[in-house]
């Protein structure tokens, strides 16, 4: 990794491009996703059952129980802790997402925009699990961690939220924005041996 990233400042995002050996197809495809809005949803005490009813009625999705995801259209909720969820809206910005959630939940939940505080990185490709085996201290074997599962964990001592978006597999990470450069450096270091294609971070 030191040779691959030696000329990139530690505080800068790793530029998009191919890292590691050239293969007919990259073993790992990593993409920083844009056009996403994120918000935390903290349910008031004793209001979880009501919020579940409202989520089904107003948003058309079943509130996830535990570290799971639930999706309906362009909206995904990820269970992050007791009575806490991360909402991800695709193709919208933070204010419309908060308005939509506020209309659904009213005063039963506290909402906080996280669109500027978190970045979402998506990983796919045939060597994705091999790469993540070097980074994530949880078992991602498909018999244990399946599509729809989520976990709060660490990558290179960075607190992240991971969820599996597709059986392919496709994984998504919500990473604190200030730690994204370090996260990407660790990711490139782990995935370069398989050929890693990075997009969405700019050309440096």
> What is 121-148 written as a DSSP string?
EEEESTTHHHHHTTT-SS---TTTS-TT
All domains of the chain, ordered by start, with CATH?
17-33+117-199 (3.30.1360.120), 36-113 (3.30.70.1520)
* Across 143-166, average pLDDT: 97
Q: What is the mean pLDDT of the chain?
A: 94
| pLDDT over 70 (residue 60) | yes
| pLDDT over 80 (residue 204) | no
Q: Strands, DSSP E only, in the chain?
A: 17-19, 28-33, 36-43, 69-72, 75-81, 84-90, 109-113, 118-124, 150-155, 158-166, 170-176, 196-199
* Across 146-161, average pLDDT: 97
**31-40, 88-97, 143-152, 195-204: least confidently modelled range:** 195-204
């Amino acid at each position: 990794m030191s040779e691959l990233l030696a000329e990139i400042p530690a505080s800068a995002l790793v530029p998009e491009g191919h890292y590691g050996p050239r293969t007919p197809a990259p073993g790992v495809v990593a993409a920083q996703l844009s056009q996403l809005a994120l918000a935390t949803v903290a349910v008031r005490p004793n209001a979880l059952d009501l919020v579940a009813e409202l989520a089904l009625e107003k948003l058309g999705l079943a509130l996830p129980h535990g570290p799971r995801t639930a999706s309906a259209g362009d909206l995904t909720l990820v269970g992050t802790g007791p009575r806490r969820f991360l909402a991800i809206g695709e193709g919208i910005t933070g204010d419309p997402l908060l308005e939509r959630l506020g209309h659904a939940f009213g005063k039963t939940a506290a909402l906080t925009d996280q669109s500027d505080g978190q970045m979402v990185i998506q990983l796919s490709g045939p060597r994705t699990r091999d790469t993540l085996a070097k980074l994530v201290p949880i078992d991602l074997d498909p018999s244990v961690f399946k599509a729809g599962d989520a976990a709060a964990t660490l990558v290179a001592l960075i607190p992240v939220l991971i969820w599996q978006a597709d059986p392919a597999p496709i994984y998504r990470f919500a990473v604190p924005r200030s730690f994204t450069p370090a996260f990407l450096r660790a990711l490139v270091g782990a995935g370069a041996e398989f050929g890693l294609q990075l997009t969405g971070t700019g050309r440096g």
